[in-house]
Amino acid sequence: MSAPEPDFFATIRWTPDGLVPAIVQDAETSEILMMAWMDREAILRTLATGQTHFYSRSRRKIWHKGETSGHLQHVESLWVDCDADVLLIKARQVGGACHEGYRSCFFRRVDREGRLEVAATPVFEAESVYRRGERE
Amino acid sequence: MSAPEPDFFATIRWTPDGLVPAIVQDAETSEILMMAWMDREAILRTLATGQTHFYSRSRRKIWHKGETSGHLQHVESLWVDCDADVLLIKARQVGGACHEGYRSCFFRRVDREGRLEVAATPVFEAESVYRRGERE
């Protein structure tokens, strides 16, 4: 992709690996859906398509959110924090953001005893959407 | 501090430096206020006091949000994402979260030309709250 780099790239404080964390917030409900990492290319593709793309640190490649599941994130706006080391994306989420079947990846709450409790209901069947071992 | 480690610490996928990123969301408005890093001690102090504490990677020490400014964050709930490598804190924010005087650190939006535009109004005078060069 040969799109010119947008001006704000010069402001971003990239990690040594050239990444920046991106929080995705539901543009309609304001629920926080997920956090993932982006490199320059992931941001360029996100801006070009209007759909979120991220960089997988484990697989070392770009992934298009929803490519397998259809659970796309349509970007409404992109924000940068005061230190320019975190992005915030407000997006319209199709289906659920979480590969475990939940609307948000933050479906577990720490209870009074310091244990994790599931505090949400799945919105889709993860097994029927993702193939075994597949993530996006 | 000698508080025993809560069970969920064993689930967290800490960075090699023993940190985990924490998103702070306004419990009342659902606005995303900031993202910062926590180590085990910062989480323990947060749980013990009910007020957010973080770990400053640049200063290599724990900081108590609002200690200087009075702009405390009173924790309502703590969440963990599916990969257990990001925390979400829902909190009641006193004043503003951002040291630049804004309610949220995400006060700049990327415009259509790829430039940053300020899209919020300050809620306090940063100069009168923070001493020169001071951050919290």
- In chain B, the percentage of residues whose pLDDT exceeds 90 is 88
A4, B64, B129 from B70: Cα distances, Å: 43, 10, 9
B78 touches chain A (CB under 8 A): yes
Instruction: Using CA coordinates, name the residue in chain B closest to A29.
Output: B30
Which range among A13-22, B2-11, B127-136 shows the weakest confidence by mean pLDDT? Answer: B127-136
pLDDT band at A56 (very low <50, low <70, confident <90, very high): very high
DSSP code string of A3-62 = PPPPGGGGT----TTS-EEEEEEETTT--EEEEEEE-HHHHHHHHHHSB-EEEETTTTEE
- Please tell me the distance in Å from B67's CA to the nearest CA on chain A: 19
- Report, as an integer, the average pLDDT of A53-74: 96
Q: Which residue has better confidence, B99 or A1?
A: B99
Helix and strand totals (H; E) in chain B: 2, 8
Q: Which of B101, B94, B93 is nearest to B129 (CA)?
A: B101
Residue spans of alpha helices (H) in B50-134: 126-129
ipTM of the complex: 0.94
Q: Region B12-22: what's the mean pLDDT?
A: 98
Distance CA A110, CA B80 (A): 7
Q: How many CB atoms lie within 10 A of CB A4?
A: 8
A7-99 architecture in CATH? Answer: Roll (3.10)
Put simply, the answer to whether B102 touches A86 (Cβ < 8 Å) is no
Query: Which tens digits make up the pLDDT trace of A88-117?
Result: 999 999 999 999 999 999 999 999 999 999
Query: In chain A, where are the structural domains located?
Result: 7-99
Q: What is the mean pLDDT of chain B?
A: 94
pTM (predicted TM-score): 0.94
A77 touches chain B (CB under 8 A): yes
Contact B116 A8 (CB under 8 A): yes
pLDDT band at B133; cut points 50, 70, 90: low
pLDDT for A2: 55
pLDDT of residue B78: 98
Pairing of strands B108-110, B116-118: antiparallel
The CATH superfamily of B18-124 is: Phosphoribosyl-AMP cyclohydrolase (3.10.20.810)
- A113 part of contact set with chain B, CB < 8 Å: yes
Instruction: Give A8-49 pLDDT, tens digit per residue.
Output: 999 999 999 999 999 999 999 999 999 999 999 999 999 999
Q: Tens digit of pLDDT for each residue in B35-82?
A: 999 999 999 999 999 999 999 999 999 999 999 999 999 999 999 999
Note whether A80 contacts B6, CB cutoff 8 Å: no
Q: Which helix (H) or strand (E) holds B134?
A: none
